[in-house]
Structure 1
């Protein structure tokens, strides 16, 4: 699948830059194509086959598979939960070496429960796409999934409005979130 993003390491999609309107538009377009293909029964492509994604976490993985884990598996990627050990000084050489090693082992890294400074340090030294809690509630992926669900039900949301999806709409929102996560992974990893 093609993306209109200018580079495989578009700064808006991961830790080091702002999420730009062009990035959001391209991700939304790709998300709509992924969802349409799935609804048409053509979702069998595995464009990230052979890619390895690390989910860097402070605590062990939950028994239930996360949305990001499922989205990556559906695209053919292998996913590893990497639990962080004792804190390491993000400005030190040990942290730089850890970041470089992660970059050699994985094609992308998602960091949850880390400070923004730690995530930027990993991104600076890993040499692969690094995401700052891609499936987090405050990440643009979550917001885009909410907006897609509202739009699909004919709602126009004020940017200051708070929303909650319940019942069948919650399931549809979760599906939209998975497609948004897949679009973000594809947009940033397809060329790597």
Structure 2
């Protein structure tokens, strides 16, 4: 059987995305009183391969696999033969003999795709330089549980057009949302990702728009979202980026420009008084810790889909072999 991978947000159809969110809500509601059907990974092992540091992703997948009845195998790539030059293809082939799925946090999207091509078990993108699709699923779950739905909502992202912005554009389009990204010139999300999101939005009612004025983008927004200005590997640019991105801080002015009941999100870790003011991060509009918790529930639902363990979820479609990641990364 060909393995089902999740390398990019568009490896789910719109219907599958909604079904995963429904399942995630169920897992969340039943977490302290799970039933037999809530352990679809019983007898299975999942490798959690980390080539980048992690807190939320590592813990949420570790706990999530265990709560689904499986055995999480956390692997620090630096302490394996990957750190001594073994190819990603050989690593994928070996891991496929030991485990039932591979969760990977890595650098280039191309590296992730090479691993998936050589694996015969599901591979999940736990973050690459190009996308962060598991984060976007948790974001959508958080928005939906606060707003009751997703279609037609406007999410405004302020800051660097990075992997998180890419996933919000694609996942938001699948959900029928309007995703507006405000970035400084030269730091916008990839044009091909924006184009892809608008192609999806033509069928779902979604929209992707890139802007340069932060307050204009925040005007009337249902959700305001930001991320760090210097991602992992860009630490040497922190000082210069702080100057360029200062007008894009998610602060009280941005909140005032948005809708009165605007929801504030940040994928964490946050740098208070840089990309977000402390008063907003800790304020009444913030849902950042619900958002962090929902990583656990959304990823449990995703794993259930990939293992075809929940009736009605796996039936939603047969697409998603990882090709979407290759198309969007080019």
How many residues align? The count is 178
CA RMSD in angstroms, aligned pairs only: 3.5
* Correspondence for 1:176: 294
Quickly say closer, same or farther: Cα 1:48–1:181, change in 2 above 3 A.
Answer: same
How far, CA to CA, are the matches of 1:134 and 1:51 in structure 2? 23
* Correspondence for 1:32: 25
* Correspondence for 1:100: 93
How far, CA to CA, are the matches of 2:302 and 2:126 in structure 1? 12
SS of the counterpart of 1:143? helix
* Correspondence for 1:185: 303
8 Å Cα contact 1:110/1:133 also seen in 2: yes
8 Å Cα contact 1:144/1:180 also seen in 2: yes
Quickly say closer, same or farther: Cα 1:175–1:95, change in 2 above 3 A.
Answer: closer
SS of the counterpart of 1:96? helix
Higher-Rg structure is: 2
Relative contact order, higher structure (CA 8 A, sep 6+): 1
Q: TM-score, normalised by structure 2?
A: 0.46
How far, CA to CA, are the matches of 1:82 and 1:128 in structure 2? 17
* Correspondence for 2:34: 42
Unaligned runs of 5+ in 1: 1-6
How far, CA to CA, are the matches of 1:135 and 1:74 in structure 2? 25
Q: Within 5 Å, give how 1:1-192 maps onto structure 2.
A: 9-11=3-5, 13-14=6-7, 18-38=11-31, 41-42=33-34, 45-58=38-51, 66-84=59-77, 85-86=82-83, 88=85, 94-133=87-126, 138-154=131-147, 156-158=153-155, 159-160=179-180, 161-162=224-225, 163-164=264-265, 166=281, 169-190=287-308
Deviation sequence 1:131-176 (CA, Å, 0-9, x none): 1216999523322322322332338443224242655833322232
SS of the counterpart of 2:31? helix
The 4+ residue runs of structure 1 with deviation greater than 4 A are: 59-62, 134-138, 165-168
Deviation sequence 1:85-119 (CA, Å, 0-9, x none): 33647xxxx54332211111111111112322221
* Correspondence for 1:4: none
How far, CA to CA, are the matches of 2:119 and 2:9 in structure 1? 12
